[in-house]
Amino acid sequence: MGHYAWVLGVRPGYEDEYKKRHDEIWPELAADISAAGLRNYNIFRHGLTLIGYFECDDLPAAIKALGESDANKRWGEYMAPIMKLDADPSTGFPYLLPLVWRMD
């Protein structure tokens, strides 16, 4: 199983809106994320910095599935005005952080 993390930003003044939108996440998006194979998906916020963590067995397949998800595309458009996005142009997915250390 792979362990992955990303860092993005929320625009100033949109912290509460970001939280509200995730509290009301679309069921079809949550279903597509699960179907793509992402598990234990968490997002943390420190000020304007967002840190995401998830586990996945087949990251290339998950990225492909999410790239084909209509709900994921719509969510990206919905969230774009309130976020600072930094995505890998080869995948459209946020740049992933290298795992440096892990304790089981």
CA distance 40 to 25: 16
CA distance 49 to 86: 12
Q: Which residues are catalytic?
A: 22
Burial 20-40 (b: 16+ CB within 10 A, else e): eeeeeeeeebeebbeebbbee
